[in-house]
Amino acid sequence: MRKLFVSVARAATVAIVAAFVAGTPARAQQAPARTADSIAAPVIAKGDSAKLKGPRQPVFFRHDLHAGAYKIQCQYCHYSVAVSNEPGIPSMQTCMGCHLVIGGSDSANKAEIKKVRQAWADKKPIEWTRVHYLARHVHFPHSQHIKAMGPVACATCHGDIARMPQVYKVNNVNNMGWCINCHLERKVTRDCSACHY
């Protein structure tokens, strides 16, 4: 039986308390406590991000800090990866969940976090540049792969994101041979119609 949803007053979804966010002064944060196996993220001076691999994003969001140093689970932000074909990208609300309080430790970080807060205040979501995308005739169910390979399977395709200051493409996910190799190794379906329909 399909679950049926009920529309709520449409205004509620946009009624965001944004006013006090804009006014919050960015408090200097203590350097975060790092656990033994967390990955030390390098300090990248302002301007140095241009030399990094991968497309330049509107906000210099550092996966190496969030997923590496702070060890935030991938699924905290990519919330639907285990239940849906689509991994999901975090809403601005998710960003603000932390950055309402966390304003950044140095001026470079502060500048980036300020952009996020500004976007939230303006109700204008940040337009990220997509790094990985499949051709439209391929259907890749993320959930099935997480189910089969566990929640840390992300790196198999996306590389060691936890060490990437700026995300870049490690594997060409549009190279079908690359998919097939894995499917051959693991002795799972190679039927065309598993992905192409």
Partner 1 sequence: MSDEPETPPMDRRRFLTVLGASTATAAAVSGCSTSRVEKLIPYLVQSEDQVPGIPTWYASTCTECDAGCGLHVKTREGRAIKLEGNPDHPVNRGKLCVQGQSALQGLYNPDRIKAPMVRNGSAWQEIKWDDAIARLAAKLGPAQGKVAVISGAGRGSFDDFLGEWTAASGGKMVRHAPHDLEAVRAANKQVFGVDALAAHDFGKARYIVSFGADFLESWGPSVENQRGFADAHGFHDGTMAKFVYVAPRASLTGLNADEFVAVKPGSETAFALALANAAGAAGLSQYTPEMAAQETGVPAETIRRIAKEFAAAKPSLAVAGGIGAQSAGAAELCAAVNLLNQAAGNIGQTVLFGADLQSGDGQAALDALAAGMDQGQFQVVLVHEANPVYTQPRSTGFAARFRKVPFKVSTAMVLDETAALCDLLLPTHHALERWDDARPRAGITGLMQPVMEPVFTTMATGDVLLKASQKAAGPLARFNAPSWEAYLKARWADIARARGSADADGFWRESLARGGVYDEPAAPAAVKVASAAVTYTKPAFEGDGEYTFLPHVTTFGDGRFTNRPWVLELSDPVTKITWTSWVEVSPAAAKRIDVREGEILRLTSPHGSIEVPAYIYAGLRDDVVSVPLGYGHTEYGRFAANRGANALDLLGPPKAGGFLPFVATRVRVERAGNAYSKVPKTEGVPRQLGRHIAEAMPLAAAAKGLSLEEWYKGIGEPLGEEHPPVEVEAIKGWRQMQVGRTEGHGRRLGNYAGDHPMWGMAIDLSRCTGCSACVTACYAENNIPWVGEDDVRKGREMTWMRIERYWEGGEADKPLEARFVPMLCQHCDNAPCEPVCPVYAAYHTVDGLNGQVYNRCVGTRYCGNNCPYKVRYFNWYKYNERAFPAPLNLQLNPDVTVRARGVMEKCTFCIQRIRGAQHTARLEDRELKDGEIVTACAQACPSDAIVFGNMKDGDSRVAKIKRDPRGYHVLEDVNTRPAVTYLAKVLHAGSGQRAEG
Contact call for residue 84 and partner 1 (CB under 8 A): yes
CA–centroid distance for 45 within its chain: 22
Among 33, 47, 177, 197, binds partner 1 (CB under 8 A): 197
- How many residues sit close enough to partner 1 to count as binding (CB under 8 A)? 56
CB of 164 to partner 1, least distance (A): 16
Contact call for residue 156 and partner 1 (CB under 8 A): no
Instruction: State both tokens at 149.
Output: 């390979």
Q: Residue 19: phi, psi to the nearest 5?
A: -60, -50
Contact call for residue 19 and partner 1 (CB under 8 A): no
CA distances (Å), 122 to each of 19, 21, 71, 96, in order?
10, 11, 30, 13
CA distances (Å), 183 to each of 156, 173, 177, 194, in order?
12, 14, 10, 11
Among 94, 103, 114, 163, binds partner 1 (CB under 8 A): 94
CB of 68 to partner 1, least distance (A): 21
For partner 1, the closer of residues 73 and 84 by Cβ is 84
Among 83, 101, 152, 182, binds partner 1 (CB under 8 A): 83
Amino acid of residue 134: L
For partner 1, the closer of residues 79 and 115 by Cβ is 79
Contact call for residue 50 and partner 1 (CB under 8 A): no
Instruction: State both tokens at 52.
Output: 């990094």
State the chain's maximal CA–CA distance in angstroms: 56
> Do 11 and 41 contact (CB within 8 A), yes or no?
no
Q: Cβ–Cβ contacts within 10 Å for residue 83, how many?
A: 13
Positions that interact with partner 1 (CB under 8 A): 2-7, 9-10, 13-14, 16, 55, 79-80, 83-94, 120, 123, 125-130, 133, 135-139, 141-144, 147, 169, 172, 174, 189-194, 196-197
